[in-house]
Amino acid sequence: MAKRQAPHHRGAYAVAARALRQMAYADPTTECWRCGRTLDQHEPHKDGKPARWTAGHITDGEVGGALAPEASTCNYSAGASYGNAKRGTFTRSRQW
């Protein structure tokens, strides 16, 4: 059974995010709002998969806020940093 998306990732959000991604892919000069680079200028993910366009939240953690084209590498990194800071976890490896 497929995992059901959280309420804030369904409905109007899903429609807006899809339209934003399609618009970004249609224009190769689209720049990531977070870093200002085009998709071709981004390094691949650590697993070797290429960066792709996502709908990034302008204000991290804000549900229902404004969205902008964001490279997946920037989006996932920002999301991890936001989540770690919110939980109070370390961002660097621990020295035992």
Q: What is the pLDDT of residues 11-65, one digit of tens each?
A: 888 899 999 999 999 999 999 999 999 999 999 999 999 999 999 999 988 888 8
* Own/partner long-range contacts of 65-72 (Cβ < 8 Å, ≥24 apart): 67/13, 67/16, 67/17, 67/20, 68/20, 68/33, 69/20, 69/21, 69/23, 69/24, 69/30, 69/31, 69/32, 69/33, 70/32, 70/33, 70/34, 71/32, 71/34, 71/35, 71/37, 71/39, 71/42, 72/45
Residue boundaries of the structural domains of the chain: 7-87
State the pTM of this model.
Answer: 0.79
